[in-house]
Amino acid sequence: MSKYKTGSIFKSLTYAYRGIALALKSQRNFRFDFIFGIFIFILAIFLRFSFIELAVLILTINAVLFAELMNTVIEFIIDAYYGNRYSIIAKMSKDIAAGAVLLTAISSLFVGFMLFLPKIIKFYFILRQ
């Protein structure tokens, strides 16, 4: 067996959980996105989103969290390779990874507005009656 194989699905899941816990503990942006995603999901349940709307929302939240995790991995790898030395390649790589997170966050805002705006308007008019 290779030294990089875990041997069991349980160990693999343990490592994955440990990675998410580490990101929550050490990455401010990931922590903010995670907590905000939970809040948005609870709000969607309160506004009675359909199963399809919830599925789209979950995929959207997951896309942002995934982008944050990949950005963190890229930054860690670059920092490990370059250490404290300045490199234009390192800077460009980190900037591009951060740009990917920004694009994902912006598109998630559009999806959020498309999902939430009709529900909020409907809720508002129900309250006004």
Q: So where are the chain's domains?
A: 9-128
Cβ neighbours for 75, distance < 8 A, ≥ 6 positions apart: 94, 97
Considering the candidates 68, 108, 115, 116, report the single residue annotated as catalytic. 68
Q: How confident is the model at residue 1 (pLDDT cuts 50, 70, 90)?
A: very low
User: Which ranges in the chain belong to alpha helices (H)?
Assistant: 9-26, 28-46, 51-82, 88-128
Cβ neighbours for 37, distance < 8 A, ≥ 6 positions apart: 61, 64, 65
Residue 68 annotated to the active site: yes
pLDDT at 6: 67
Report pTM. 0.89
The percentage of the chain sitting over the pLDDT mark of 90, rounded to a whole number, equals 84
Q: How confident is the model at residue 128 (pLDDT cuts 50, 70, 90)?
A: confident
d(CA 54, CA 87): 43
The percentage of the chain sitting over the pLDDT mark of 70, rounded to a whole number, equals 96
pLDDT at 2: 64
Q: What are phi and psi of 77, to 5 degrees?
A: -65, -45
Name the class of domain 9-128.
Answer: mainly alpha
